[in-house]
Amino acid sequence: MSRLSPVPDKLKDLARGPGRPAAALQIDRQLDGLDLCANGPLWLGTAVREPGRISKAERIGIMREVRRKLRFFEAGNPFVSGPRGAPGLS
């Protein structure tokens, strides 16, 4: 991922937002609608460790329905972007 990322020298920035990991993994709109549970070029893998507590927050960088808590992430994970003072972010 770091080789293909636009920010390869900043490990913490590698997975910020949905666009950077998608770009680094060469995932584009050609894969829209793909069944992630079926065999194919993209699938959901199994976790290598137990996930931490999941937090939810308001989405970032949108103009409509900004107060809806539709952003889900692992609380305290240093790779989650957003304001450091936000609940669940370290």
pLDDT at res. 89: 62
What's the pLDDT at 53?
92
76 neighbors 90 (Cβ within 8 angstroms): yes
Helix intervals (H) in the chain: 19-24
**Predicted model pTM:** 0.57
Q: What is the pLDDT of residue 54?
A: 92
Chunked into runs of 10 residues, the chain (90 residues) has average pLDDT values of: 70 75 84 88 84 86 79 83 60
Query: What's the burial of 6, exposed, middle or buried (CB within 10 Å: 0-12/13-18/19+)?
Result: exposed
pLDDT of residue 61: 74
Q: Where are the domains of the chain?
A: 1-45, 52-90
Interatomic CA distance for residues 51 and 45, integer angstroms: 13
